[in-house]
Homo-oligomer: A and B are copies of this chain.
């Protein structure tokens, strides 16, 4: 390890950051079949030795990159109202789908089936965190008396988050910049749409 790095040499944290970023990008773009430590080193603009020293195998590197990008940043929204919690969740998910990690997340879902030994656990980790977070939002709304006891977290969160995902997936490549520019408004519209249905279908007692 090079904790004694001088000014002409990037420090460890910087090397880590560049390598993990390049790894998530390459995984998203090319998938596991074409993922190599050499390609990551080239993309990151750092030496192969620095990569191999930290992550001796491509399995370890891709797991580290996915964990840091997708598993660790849990979206924890707790604002005190259902509307603001749903807005916060929707904004965070839209930023994720539009950002560099959205494609990696979709790729991970696809590849968890092809390479379960490598990706199934990571995909499951992301799923269960998202489900717990969504349930917590609806549970708190029920406890505050904003929704009836029978409110379905699944239905409310699937339509909110899935609505955003479908919007991004259904947009033609050439309209992506326009869609991204209007995404804040779309997040507001989807939140209002889902909230209206939730309150109408699950009114508080």
Contact = CB atoms under 8 A, between A and B. Distances in A.
A33 interface: yes
Given A124-B172, A128-B172, A200-B200, A189 B29 contact: no
Interface residues of A, number: 50
Nearest to A29: B114
A192 B197 CA distance: 9
Interface in A118-165: 120, 124, 127-128, 130-131, 152, 154-155, 157-165
A52 interface: no
Interface stretch (A9-17, A37-45, A76-84, A105-113): A105-113
Interface in A51-80: none
Copies in the complex: 2
A193 B189 contact: no
Interface string A7-34: 0000000000000000000001111011
Nearest to A134: B170
Contacts of A114: 29-31
B31 A155 contact: no
A152 B169 CA distance: 17
Interface of A: 28-31, 33-34, 103, 106-107, 109-114, 116, 120, 124, 127-128, 130-131, 152, 154-155, 157-167, 169-173, 189-190, 192-194, 196-197, 200-201
Instruction: List the 8 closest pairs (A to B, CB-CB), nearest first.
Output: A162-B166, A33-B33, A162-B162, A197-B197, A159-B163, A158-B163, A159-B159, A158-B166
